[in-house]
Amino acid sequence: MERTTNIQLGFTEADLQRAAGPTSFSRGEDYAGAVQGLDIGETSIRAAVPGRETYRVELVVTHQTGLTGSCDCAYGADGHFCKHCVAVGLAALRQTTPVAPQSADAQVPVPPPAPTPRASQDLVTPWLRSLDRDALLALLNEESAADSGVRDRLLLRARVVQADRAEVRDLVKGLLAPGTFAHDGYAERALYVQDVAQATTILRTLIAAGRVAEAVDGARWALWRLAEVYESAGDADELFTPLHGLVAVHLRACEAARPDPEATARWLVGHLLGPFGEMTPVDPADYGDILGPTGLARALALATEAWRNDPTDKAARLKERLLKAQGDVDALIAAYADDLAPDGATHLRIALELDQAGRAGEALDWAERGLQTAGERRDVDQQLVEWTCVRYLRAGRLDDALAVRRTRFRAHGSLASYRSLRSAARGCGRWEAEREAALELLRGNGSRGGLGHSPRLLVDVLLDEGEVDAAWDAAAGHADDRQLRTLADRMRDHRPADALGVYLRLLEPLKQSTKDEAYQEITRLLRSIRACHQRLGTPGEFSRHMAALRTELKRKRKLMQLLDANDL
């Protein structure tokens, strides 16, 4: 069930784009309509996003960290702001009035939210109910005459109502025949998606006609067939929305038919443990009322037995989901606690469950235990680190957040962990001392162990701090080509001779390549080399260099054309 509070979000769609990047943002747009259980709180947003599995997402916005997101998909587990985070952010924006954070004294009026599809339905439904039978018939005739799609759907519904069980079964099977979906082009796939929509309309018509038992059986068969097509196609994102629609129809049919809990439990477990179970976004919690205590207990027993016979990750996850559906948080935690990952990932799962159950204190205790267990491991779960630090910040425990950031920087130094350390230390007003200790560690002057001598990271850190000359000194004999290029670009105005030496060094190996990308890079470097000579007052030397280069590389026609286009 969705829950929202009357708040304004502290981020915009542009913030989501910046956090995710163009690829993840574009993919997230496709999933926004499938977000489930959207829970918008005062400082965080939680939801589930179905895909090959159902992924849990949490977005947090604070003044200290800005917009951050965590997701238990593989890409999100690596610390990325994934497409599922984007989907949840977009879903939240569509239900609230997003505004960018403003200063306390800013007096900018907030515009009213744009009308949503749900608001439009609230206008249409009362109006339709106000019409009498003849007016409704006239309206339907008018709309079907104007729109062939409406007419075709009405004809299909009329045909289904008059058909017997066997005829309906054959109709659905004909629409969902696998065909050559996996090998066909975009147009053929689009037609298949339309056929799935027709099959879904048939099942909805059965429910409306009171033939709910047929709808249950038909939806289960359709889910199996469509999941099989999805699996065989390998890459069939077009089927995600139709799959989601079929799941919704099956659930609705079960709610109306109230099938036998024992049989439903067997179907649910068999479906989710089968070869195609993870292709369909079926959540056992949605079937809690249908199964009841007896059915849930039976489903859990079946899943547990399957796990004992074959302890796969899929079976373990189903056990956990059924425990969640039962609402037994302590039993779920006990199941998690039987196999705690050394990197703290399981501790985070426990913390999330406890937090969702309103047991925030216990949640933070488990998170802290996870960090203690992980110690100074390099592979500690980054989501656990972020979650714990955000909770510390909310509670005003700035020193504790700083201690976590310090430990993580020392255990796994990176530019990202340095920036997090800097942000936490500034919040405590202790950045000067922390900065000096961090730099000493990077220079190899700190305590033994941890980072040790990290000259390349030191270069990145000094560049990030704007200390270009110090970064240049640290780079001697250590920097890679990327860092050298950045240093040269940053030094070109005030140290053109040093920058020139870098550009010439980077240019040399590129002359052997025949790739277009190399030609583009050669051109960029030559423009920079020309700028250095201009600042040094030696344009004649650049002209001689270019003449020699053109003679050496004259056989590379594409390169010559590129040089001509750039007046080189």
pLDDT in tens, 44-103: 788 888 776 778 888 887 666 678 888 888 777 667 788 999 999 998 888 764 444 443
- Check residue 99 and give its pLDDT: 43
391 domain-assigned:
no
Distance CA 464, CA 466 (A): 5
Distance CA 53, CA 318 (A): 11
- Check residue 269 and give its pLDDT: 92
Q: Do 195 and 250 share a structural domain?
A: yes
Backbone conformation region of residue 402, classed left if phi is above 0, alpha if psi is from -120 to 50, else beta:
alpha
AA letter at 224:
W
417 domain-assigned:
no
Q: How far is CA 7 from the centre of its chain?
A: 23
439 domain-assigned:
no
Residue 114 has pLDDT above 70, yes or no: no
Band of residue 486 on the pLDDT scale cut at 50, 70, 90: very high
pLDDT in tens, 432-461: 999 999 998 888 754 444 454 578 899 999
- Check residue 526 and give its pLDDT: 95
Task: Give the residue-averaged pLDDT of 549-564.
Answer: 92
CB 208 within 8 Å of CB 254: no
Distance CA 431, CA 419 (A): 11
Q: Do 310 and 191 share a structural domain?
A: yes
- Check residue 525 and give its pLDDT: 95
For residue 200, give the H/E element and its range: helix 186-208
Mean pLDDT (the chain) is 84
Residue 54 φ/ψ, nearest 5 degrees: -95, 115
Strands 66-71 and 54-62: antiparallel
307 domain-assigned:
yes
- Check residue 182 and give its pLDDT: 55
396 domain-assigned:
no
**What token pair was written down for 238?**
């077009």
For residue 170, give the H/E element and its range: helix 165-175
29 domain-assigned:
yes
Q: Do 505 and 473 share a structural domain?
A: no
**What token pair was written down for 292?**
């009841």
Q: Do 155 and 66 share a structural domain?
A: no
433 domain-assigned:
no
- Check residue 216 and give its pLDDT: 93
CB 10 within 8 Å of CB 64: no
Residue after which a domain boundary falls, among 95, 113, 132:
95
> Which residue segment(s) compose the domain that 75 sits in?
3-95
Residue after which a domain boundary falls, among 95, 124, 158:
95
Q: Do 280 and 208 share a structural domain?
A: yes
Q: Do 216 and 87 share a structural domain?
A: no
* End-to-end alpha carbon distance in the chain: 64
CB 276 within 8 Å of CB 230: yes
Residue 43 has pLDDT above 60, yes or no: yes
Q: Do 164 and 44 share a structural domain?
A: no
Name 36's bridge partners: 48
Residue 40 CB burial class (10 angstroms; 0-12, 13-18, ≥19):
buried
For residue 362, give the H/E element and its range: helix 360-374
Q: Do 254 and 160 share a structural domain?
A: yes
Q: Do 229 and 88 share a structural domain?
A: no
Tally of domains in the chain: 4
CB 95 within 8 Å of CB 12: no
**What token pair was written down for 297?**
């207990």
Q: Do 357 and 302 share a structural domain?
A: yes
Q: Do 223 and 339 share a structural domain?
A: yes
Task: Give the residue-averaged pLDDT of 197-224.
Answer: 91
pLDDT in tens, 370-422: 999 988 888 888 889 989 999 999 899 999 999 999 999 988 888 888 999 99
321 domain-assigned:
yes
Q: 380 Cβ partners below 8 Å, 6+ apart?
A: 343, 344, 371, 374, 408, 411, 412
Distance CA 86, CA 97 (A): 17
Q: Do 188 and 83 share a structural domain?
A: no
Give the residue from 160, 298, 275 showing the smallest Cα distance to 218.
Answer: 160
Residue 233 has pLDDT above 80, yes or no: no
Residue after which a domain boundary falls, among 366, 381, 396:
381
Distance CA 395, CA 427 (A): 13
